[in-house]
Structure 1
Amino acid sequence: MSHRTYFAPHGGHPGQTELLSGRATFTESYAVIPKGVMRDIVTSRLPHWEATRAWIIARPMTGFAETFSQYVVEVLPGGGSDRPEPDAGAEGVLFVVDGAVTLTIEGTPHRLEPGGFAYIPPGTDWRLRNRGGAPARFHWIRKAYEPVDGLAAPRPVISSDREVAPDPMPGTNGAWATTRFVSPDDLSHDMHVTIVTMEPGACIPFLETHVMEHGLYVLEGKAAYRLNRDWVEVEAGDFMWLRAFCPQACYAGGPGRFRYLLYKDVNRHPRLRLGA
């Protein structure tokens, strides 16, 4: 795949003369966090991370989306962490959108540049550093791993957007395709993080309504997205956060491709008892 650029927030603040109105929306079934909301004032510092801040754009919320958290993390040159993950039962996915980081897993370093992908299993010894001269920005998706008797936990995966050919949806002539970094047939994985690509004019031609929760971060382009009862316009840098069973569909607006990073929980029985 040819070189691509991905939108990444840089913070800052709007001027005092700008209007207060915007596209941010929070409803009973979805939220839209537009790129203009990701300012300095809404960042968090993280324990055991140096020269780092994060936009936390999703976290488990009872009665809404309960399975995952998602951050956009900014690491300045020389920054990073040797103790990044506080929860030994958490798995993670990293996807780099700007700059470069060195991810060390079980003592082996890997350089991740824009489009770089990493799946990190629970209990893994890993660390991350920015050894370059410019800030690095990446998505970090975290989920409590759900083990299954008789299934080994997944192994680490290091890949990139450039290395994986998109898988076209049937009957679309390649206008709608999904980049899959792990096999959907591998039941050791209980979440998928993929990239959806839609050519100008392509659409999701029905209202998807399903049990999986979603985080959708727009990497490139723009589209009109149907979320429950509403049509909303989204563009590169916007984040959509969907609870289970929120109806959804999409028209890609052009002039370029519409691409988004997609999280969903998969491959497990729903829990029937609270706390189980």
Structure 2
Amino acid sequence: MTTTDIHALVGAYALDAVDDLERVAFERHILACEACRAEVDELRETASRLADTTWSVPPPRLRTEVLAAVGRTRQLPPAESARPMPDARAAVSRWRRFTAGAAAAGVLAAGAGAATWAVQEQRVREKNAVVAAAELREARTEAILAAPDLVVRTAPMIGGGRVTVASSALQRASVVSLRADRAPAADRAFQLWTIRDAAKPAPVGAGLLLAGEASAARIVDGVPGNDVFAVSVEPARGSAQPTEIVAQVLLT
């Protein structure tokens, strides 16, 4: 399976149908490719013209008809309460019951307050840890995509979709974007692999998507230096070796 030509992304780029990795690769490409720049401009102009007929001016009579309908519609009077006004003794009795209930609730709240605070504090710590991990992944992704030696390659998937691998030898890692047209079955999952020698493949597992997941973006260490990056469909728990390869991105 050969690597997809970068020129093939011109239509998807013009319609903003590319992912972040493909956008980075194509925008670098059009800096030096006048033909692709011209084709993008033409496609965007055509798309904007196709959208011209999707909006129409409301008919002039619409405002008049709406105002006339408002004038004919009877407004409902404010609702009146059917309950009689309570007497003073009933009010005092309810006040006493309320005061007693509030006091009891206060005692219970004092005992439960410490436990509630502890649970909330734990949730805050867990949320902060998740946010910190997400920020770390975002920072590393930006570092890889901004690397001066960045190389972006993409390949189609059997069944529809594509895999994009943005690699930096300086960062010793790659950002991998997978977008399949169809998700695997509920008990199956996409698994990622690196292959160092294409002639004598000995695939090494590089990650497992969730069962039934059709798209994902991952940072994979150690991709630079390999010959092939592959994607296969495996049981949800993963496999020791690929059994059904659906995409291969040539890295050399």
Instruction: Give the greater-gyration-radius structure (CA).
Output: 2
- Aligning the two structures, in what range does the TM-score lie when normalised by the shorter sequence? under 0.3
Higher helix share: 2
TM-score by length of 1: 0.25
TM-score normalized by the length of structure 2? 0.26
Structure 1 or 2: more strand by fraction? 1
